[in-house]
Structure 1
């Protein structure tokens, strides 16, 4: 029995192991099949995702375009709902813009002396082309102009760009416009070439060499404005006369004082002599050596030492001599500084007077003509210019002369200090 039971158990175990191996192989096969199906399903999902993404992008673009269309439709609806005041304001802006354009066209017509608009205020391009062609091909025309002899004559004139030339049987030149609506003049050209013959050739053949002014006539105007010194002073008005008077006074005094200060003596020789006699009393012979070849300024100091012993009196007399020479050297220097201070004030006073006169002219004739205003202001500023021309050199000269006086006075005081310490010998005192 026991053996039979054991055999039965062994047979059961073997069958169980065989069944387990069969089941594991089946499971592995199922797993591989499932994995393959999963990969196929994932690829299918990816392909469908790409297709859906493209469709979504296309839909987004449609939504964007629809939004733009909705925005335009909304703006149109808002414009349709604008009130009457907004429409009036917009209409006024359009009218203002149109008027501005018309003004620009009118200004262009005036500057070019042309007519480029039709009756409906529209620009005619053909008219513009024709007029510019006419300007590019100038012709001679007869005009009444003032010749070089100040007589009104008939001239054949032609305009070449910004310049206008004129000629007749007697002369030829450049036409200069007159001021205040005066008749234009013919300014003759003086050169080595025969300008009159060149103009005749230009009129007959249409080709010639003529002069051209790169300044457009401004050089001729500038040459006419050149004035002499006397005329320049006269343009400054009444206040220019006292300014010139102060200038002459400062100039004369500066020359005289310069000549006086240049003649001041050198103190080096006397200073060396004083140092030589510093340690001994001075006798009569020593004083004769000191007084030899001395300037009156130095001689006066030596005489004070000769006639007075060392005392407070001697020092007072030396100080008095120094003060006298200082006052003499500084005499009239204050006039130069006064002229330097008063001249610009007179110039400013003349400028104020000229400006008042200019404003009076503007009140009478108006400010439409710029030459009236600019001419009056330029004349008013002449006095300021003259005042500064007088003041600046006067200040410089006054400072230089004052410095020279201070330098000499300092040297003279140092010399007087040394002289005050010199002693006079007893023999000299008894001799006195």
Structure 2
């Protein structure tokens, strides 16, 4: 009996040990299964929440117009008008921004077309013709911008590539281009032509400048050289060339510039003639008229006439003509002097009216050229729009250059007319004074 009890106890102990060993493994398995089930439930819950949220957003989106209509319906008529004005103003701002971005993009395309390689040119040619506010070609525009950034990254460190350029005689030259940022230098394949490159939007190929050609040739050989750098991409050099060529102003002035130049030349001629006429006049001294009166008092008219011939002044001719009427009385002499004075005044005013007309007409001709240039500019705007100002440059130049030349001619003409008129009036007043002095002297006799 004891043996049986011992056997039973041993069996129970063995079973308890086995259960104790298997219990932790079962708990771990149950925990892992519960965790997996919890994850699955969470994922299912998230899917349900996403689906519900999407349906809620769709419902909100569908309800938004109805809510907006309800709000508009509850507004007063004045409030709706104010809201409509605000929306239209915002729409105009957005349209202006879109047009500005489109103009900037068009300018980028024009500049990039000059420097682009074959792949870039093909990309540019794919651009839609209508680059207005429409959304067409947005992907192509983005691709072109990416290409432009890639080109900038390539040339920032400097690159040498095969290219072509237009020489000073219009020939197309093949060679190599050394580019650093916006700066480019060219060397022909035969090594004869070298210089910096200038963008030429009309021909599609850059134009070769021959300044510092020897240094450019050394640059391609890898030798250290000093070169003039135009960081504006050639614009500063072009402006300097325009400012250094005065004859270019005559070409920009248009047809209205030639009448201004013509009246300027005639005004200069009249001014010179008048200056030489007044330069010959010499003011008589104080004893000259007293000597003439003394000779008349003594009855020696021939000596008095000889004294008038020795003086180069209009008063001398006037007094000499009046001596022939001394025997008729002083009153007759006075009338003759006034008659001669009118002739002297008319002679001294000669050439001056045309100078005055020039001073008044030149600004008007300049204004006429300005109006003509503005009309031409607005005609160009009607065809090309305001995106690119280069086609309008001719009309603007004609408008400004004619005004410039009109003022350049009018201001000196006005100054010259004022000075010559003052001198002429002084001579006339002095002539009248000498004539009255001569008549008063005769009366005393």
> TM-score, normalising length from structure 1?
0.61
* Structure-2 change in CA distance of 1:374 and 1:311 (3 Å): same
* Structure-2 change in CA distance of 1:180 and 1:214 (3 Å): closer
Which residue among 161, 178, 187 is the counterpart of 2:200? 178
Residue of structure 1 in register with 2:343 after alignment: 324
* Structure-2 change in CA distance of 1:181 and 1:424 (3 Å): closer
1:168-317 matched pairs, under 5 angstroms: 168-169=188-189, 170=191, 171-180=193-202, 182-190=204-212, 193-201=214-222, 208-214=224-230, 216=232, 217-222=234-239, 224-225=241-242, 232-268=249-285, 271-275=286-290, 282-285=297-300, 288-289=303-304, 291-292=306-307, 293-295=310-312, 297=314, 298-305=316-323, 307-308=325-326, 311-317=330-336
Structure label with greater radius of gyration: 1
Is the 8 Å Cα contact of residues 215 and 227 (structure 2) preserved in structure 1? no
* Structure-2 change in CA distance of 1:157 and 1:278 (3 Å): closer
Shift of 1:210: 4.9
Residue of structure 2 in register with 1:167 after alignment: 187
1:135-174 matched pairs, under 5 angstroms: 136-148=156-168, 150-169=170-189, 170=191, 171-174=193-196
* Structure-2 change in CA distance of 1:278 and 1:138 (3 Å): closer
Shift of 1:151: 3.5
Q: Which runs of 5+ in 2 are unaligned?
A: 1-62, 69-89, 121-138, 140-148
* Structure-2 change in CA distance of 1:263 and 1:302 (3 Å): same
Shift of 1:390: 1.3
SS of 1:352 mapped into structure 2: helix
Shift of 1:303: 4.3
Residue of structure 2 in register with 1:410 after alignment: 429
Is 1:381 matched with 2:396?
no
* Structure-2 change in CA distance of 1:209 and 1:312 (3 Å): same
Shift of 1:266: 1.8
Is the 8 Å Cα contact of residues 187 and 216 (structure 2) preserved in structure 1? no
* Structure-2 change in CA distance of 1:221 and 1:180 (3 Å): same
Is the 8 Å Cα contact of residues 160 and 177 (structure 2) preserved in structure 1? yes
Is the 8 Å Cα contact of residues 175 and 187 (structure 1) preserved in structure 2? yes
| Distance in structure 1 (CA, Å) of the matches to 2:150 and 2:382 | 45
Output the aligned Cα RMSD. Answer: 4.3
Is the 8 Å Cα contact of residues 322 and 412 (structure 1) preserved in structure 2? yes
Shift of 1:348: 0.8
> TM-score, normalising length from structure 2?
0.59
Shift of 1:326: 0.8
